[in-house]
Structure formats: C-alpha cells, structure tokens
A and B are shown apart, each in its own frame.
Chain A
C-alpha cells in the first residue's frame, strides 16, 4: 500500500539550529532517501515557509469565485513542512522508515494514501 510520511514542525526552527544539529537532521533525510531509492519509486517535497502560502476558501455554489486569503489555512503552532510517499508492505514497515526522520524538531505522521496519481517534478 502507498503511505505518506508527513512532517510537522515549527516553520523556522530548522534555520535556527546550529550547523551540527542541522546536519544531524539532514542525515536522517538522506538515509531515508537512499533507502527508499533502493526500494523503488518514491516522492518527496519540502515546502516553503507557510508565510508564502495562500488559501483558497470554500465556495457555497459551483462557479462562484473563491475568496483567496493569505497565509496557511490553519493557524497552528506546528506547520506542515513536507512529505514523503512510498509503497510499504504494511504499517510496521512504514513506521520503520518514517522513524529515520524522528528528531526533536518535527512530528512525523504516517498515513496511508487512499489514492495517488501524477508525479512530482524531478529534483532541481
């Protein structure tokens, strides 16, 4: 089954970390990316800070112009920072790989994907 590994944390916490701590977080990401690449296809993305987001609000009826507001849709302390998605044989395996990312700086949510399509851009 496809699983997503969703990363939540404080937007600017990472930038504040001393170099060594940043590297220790990045080591987790690199290890995961390496491990996933060996297993087959995966997708991942790091989002820009939520100050760069806009939110398209719900509309009452089809065809209406939606109100676009600035900022992320929810004011939360921990923001959605990025994600991975890959196939895992079961939840245990998904948790195993997601745990590569465990750190004091982020909470990692493992959530099965109901449907997936398209591709993310190649790394640039």
Chain B
C-alpha cells in the first residue's frame, strides 16, 4: 500500500519541495521565528519599522534560497543574518548610520554568535519587544493591535477584522501608535530583576486582555475574533518558553487554556450564550484542560501563589468537574477569598460574593454586594448578579428592577436576550406570589 514511498527517498529535506506546497510550511517557519528575530533586530536597529522591513526582506530571500538549496540547519540564524544585512543595506541607501555605531561588517553574524545571543540576550529582547507594545502612552486597544502587528506578525487587514474596524482606520492607528512608541523609547539595557518582573507582569496582563478581547459574546463575531484568543495563547506560550520558571506565566497560560477549552460549548447553534452550568462538558477540549492542570501543578510548586495562579486555580475548579454538581464551591470560595486579599478590587469582591452565594446562601452574598453598589453602579454584571440573588430570595420585584438596570447598561445582543428572559421570569414569579397572597 505504501510501496510508492521509497525508504531511500527520505534524504535531505530538499526533496520535499517537489511534493509539498512550500508556502504553508515556510509561513509557519517565518511565523515561529518572527518574535525572536524581530526582537533581536529591534535591538540592533533601535527601530521597530526597520526591523519589520528587514525581516520581511529576509523572508523573501529565504523563499528563493531555501527552495533552491534546502532549509539551513538553523533557520532563525539564517533569517537573522540575512535580515541584518538587509537592514544595513536599507540604512546605507537612506544615508543613515547604524544606531549603535557598529560597522556593517561586524553585523555579519556567524551561526555560533547567534547561538550565544540566543542563550543570553534573546529572552530579554523578546520581553522588551512585547513590553514596547505595552507602552503606557498607548491605550489598551492600540497596545494589543501593536503586539499583534509586530510580534505575532498579523496583517493590518487581519487585525482590523478582529477589532471590527476598517483596515484603513487600523493602519492609521498603528502608524500613530508606532510614532508614540518611537518618541519615548524603552531602554535597551538588560533589565534588572525588578524591572524584568515588572515587564513580565505588564506583558502578561496585556496577553490576558488580548484573550478576553477575542472572547466575544456573539456568534457572528466569534469567527472573526477567535484568532485573538489563539494569538494570546501563543504569546503566553512564548513567554513561558522564554521564562520557564515563572509561576505566574504558567498560570496565565493555564488560565487561557481552561477558558479556551470551552470555546465550542459556550454558545449554542442559535448563537445564544450557554452558561457554564448548562454547557455540554463532553464538548470541552479535555486535552487542553489536562495541559492546564499540569501547568498549575508546576505553578503550585512555587510559593506563594500570585493572583494569576489563584485565578487559574478558580477557573480549573470550574473546569475540572465533569458534572456541575461536582463543583467544589467551598474551595472556589477559599480561592476567591485569597485573591480578594491580594487584589481587593470591586470586581474580585463581586466574584467572591458569587462563590459565597453557593457556600452560604444568597442572603450572605447579597450583604457582601452592598458596599460595591457605588463603585460598580455602571457594571452590568453587578446588577445581573444582584438580581439573581434577589430572585433566589423570592424578591422578584426587586430582582426585576435589578435586571432592568443591567439591561439599561448596553449589554451585547445575546446577553440582552438572557436578561429579557429573566425579567419575564421575575414578572411571572411576582404575579404568582401575589396570587398566592390573595
């Protein structure tokens, strides 16, 4: 059956070129090399635009050279050397000098040299590149767009589609963002431990927000935005690959994997949101959950647990139960209490109250919501949760008013649908209760 596959044909990789579409394969190679290559080139040229152009030049040359002569042993080194020379050419033509004053010739790196850079500086270079994208002068969306453009290498059209705006608008925003970043550069010295930790936190937060940006709530948008989740997971993996011993980054990846494992289950065929409790757990991506579990066991070896680790632990408690009634609410409540102690933000306290509702009943939880009324007045989940607790306490009129408050706060289409159904339910209960009284 497999006679056509001659054992002897398995020679050098070159032989593949005649049989396999080379483009998909090279695209993967380029994409895999991109964060590290761009990071090193940005360090060399001190100019993200030039780094991007030089890398693109190198990929074009690789396309030809690799199909003729086969793939080099170290594709990243090849791309880096070629890109460096291409960048220097561009600088020469523009009559500019190299930013760090080195002679062009010294930039002709040997493979050996690149191996060394790989070990020492590259991780900080990649972190710096990601951190440049988190520039404090940029708003959050522009930070995400910049990271997708520079680090992930998505096209302007792809990014625009994911953010649901016109490519032209995205192009302008990216240009503006790059100008802002260039005007206020991130220092190129190797960061000390404290600074590295700060960068890791900032970048992790950005990746987390990128994921949530993609985790949209309508079926029509899902197709367009799911790539954001995938890129976020890739970046989280990249970060952990570079900094393998960081528990918070293990937990970040675990958290994203747990969420992502439910991508098929969280919406029904009509595009309605399916609450966690009602999701078909068979459609969860269990291998992904298992990977998350291993990452969390790794993270648990590091003490004390950080906020990302606690969040991942909470998500895992929700995710590990094969059935809803196996959920360990007492443990979830404990984890939220720990998280609230580290990050006593109103939203963490709101989520803590949700867990308390399961362990100690809706009355206790409702009392915990009182001090949050002020800070969360325009947060629709606050009203939705308060409504659900009031409904559980058989106070349908107050519940109805709270659901209405959530509905007035501009929910997404599927959310509004759920809220309207709840309001109808409250009205029926209210009528039934007053009927009982009569």
A12-B237, A77-B76 given as contacts; is B20 within 8 A of A24 (CB)?
yes
* A8-33 interface bits toward B, Cβ cutoff 8 Å, 1 = contact, 0 = none: 00111100111011001000000100
Contact across chains for A51 and B295 when beta carbons are under 8 A apart: yes
For residue A102, which residues in chain B have a CB less than 8 angstroms away from its CB?
Answer: 10, 16
Instruction: Indicate whether B436 reaches chain A with its CB closer than 8 angstroms.
Output: no
The closest CB in chain A to the CB of B7 belongs to A96
| Bound form: Cα–Cα A11–B20 in Å | 21
Q: In the bound complex, what is the Cα–Cα distance between A12 and B35 (angstroms)?
A: 13
Q: How far is the CA of A44 from the CA of B301 in the complex (A)?
A: 30
Verify if B5 is at the interface (C-beta below 8 Å from A): yes
Q: Is A52 an interface residue (CB 8 A)?
A: yes
User: Contact mask B13-36 → A, CB, 8 Å, 1/0?
Assistant: 100100011101101110110000
Q: How far is the CA of A35 from the CA of B7 in the complex (A)?
A: 14
A17 touches B244 (CB 8 A): no
Which residues of chain B from 278 to 297 have a CB within 8 Å of any chain A CB? 290-291, 294-295
Q: Given A12-B237, A21-B25, A49-B237 in contact, is the A92-B7 Cβ separation under 8 Å?
A: yes
CA of A50 to CA of B241, assembled, Å: 8
Is A57's beta carbon under 8 Å from chain B? no
Asked if B234 and A51 make an inter-chain contact with CB atoms under 8 angstroms apart, the answer reads no
> Chain B residues with Cβ under 8 A from A24's Cβ?
20
B28 near A13 (CB under 8 angstroms)? yes
A38 (CB) vs chain B CBs: closest residue? B1
Report the bound CA distance from A40 to B212 in whole Å: 48
Q: Which residue of A lies closest to B10 (CB)?
A: A99
Chain A residue with minimal CB distance to B17? A104
Dominant secondary structure of chain B at its interface with chain A: helix
Q: How far is the CB of A90 from chain B (nearest CB, A)?
A: 11
Partner of A104, one of B13, B74, B119, B245: B13
Contact with A105, one of B28, B76, B241 (Cβ below 8 angstroms): B28
Q: Are B32 and A16 in contact (CB under 8 A)?
A: yes
Question: B298 interface residue, CB < 8 Å from A?
Answer: yes
Q: How many angstroms between the C-alpha atoms of A98 and B1 in the bound complex? A: 15
A70 lies within 8 A of B250 (CB): yes
With A31-B2, A35-B2, A51-B241 known as contacts, the answer to whether A13 contacts B7 (CB < 8 A) is no
* B7 CB to nearest chain A CB (Å): 4
B106 close to chain A: CB less than 8 A: no
B239 to chain A, nearest CB (A): 9
**Contact (Cβ within 8 A) A70 B244:** yes
The contact of B20 among A48, A75, A77, A104, by CB within 8 Å, is A104
Given A75-B119, A77-B76; A48-B237 close (CB under 8 Å) = no
Taking the nearest CB of chain A, how far is it from the CB of B292, in angstroms? 9
Write out the residue numbers on chain B whose beta carbons fall within 8 Å of the beta carbon of A48: 290-291, 294
Instruction: Kindly state the separation between the CA atoms of A95 and B71 in the bound complex, as whole angstroms.
Output: 21
The CA of A71 and the CA of B247, in the complex, are separated in Å by 12
Say yes or no: B9 contacts A99, CB within 8 Å.
yes
Asked if B240 is at the interface of the complex by the 8 Å CB criterion, the answer is: yes
B22 contacts across to A, CB distance below 8 A? 104
In the complex, the answer to whether B32 meets A10 with C-beta atoms within 8 Å is: yes
What CA separation (Å) do A102 and B8 show in the bound complex? 12
Instruction: Please give, as numbers and ranges, the residues of chain B lying within 8 Å of A17 by CB-CB distance.
Output: 24-25, 28
B132 on the A face (CB < 8 A): no
Beta-carbon contacts of A51-71 to B below 8 Å, as 1s and 0s? 110100000000000001111
- Chain B residues with CB below 8 A from A12, complex form: 32, 234, 237
Provide the bound-state CA to CA distance between A10 and B76, in Å.
12
A54/B9 contact (C-beta < 8 A), A77-B76, A100-B2, A104-B20 known = no
Task: Out of B10, B31, B237, name the residue touching A51 (CB < 8 Å).
Answer: B237
A71 near B245: Cβ-Cβ < 8 Å: yes
Return chain B residues, CB-CB under 8 Å to A70: 244-245, 250, 298
Which residues of the other chain, B, contact A49 by a CB distance below 8 angstroms?
Answer: 237, 291
B76 x A52 contact (CB < 8 A): no
Contacting pair A105 B25 (CB below 8 A): yes
Nearest residue (CB) in A for B292 is A52
**A37-49 interface bits toward B, Cβ cutoff 8 Å, 1 = contact, 0 = none:** 0000000000011
User: A68, B301: Cβ atoms under 8 Å?
Assistant: yes
> Contact between A52 and B9 (Cβ–Cβ < 8 Å)?
no
Instruction: Please tell me which one of the listed residues B7, B13, B298 contacts residue A52 in the complex, with CB atoms under 8 A apart.
Output: B298
Residues on A with C-beta less than 8 A from B10 are 95, 98-99, 102, 108
Is the C-beta of B253 less than 8 angstroms from some C-beta in chain A?
Answer: yes
Pairs A-B, 7 closest by C-beta atoms: A71-B244, A96-B7, A99-B10, A104-B25, A70-B244, A70-B245, A51-B240
* 16 A-B residue pairings within 8 Å (CB atoms): A11-B237, A12-B32, A13-B28, A16-B32, A17-B24, A31-B1, A49-B237, A50-B241, A52-B291, A52-B294, A54-B298, A70-B244, A99-B9, A99-B10, A103-B20, A104-B13
A54-B298, A104-B16 known; 17 new pairs, CB 8 Å cut-off, are A12-B234, A13-B28, A13-B32, A16-B27, A16-B28, A21-B20, A35-B2, A51-B244, A52-B291, A52-B295, A71-B244, A92-B7, A95-B10, A96-B7, A99-B6, A99-B7, A99-B9
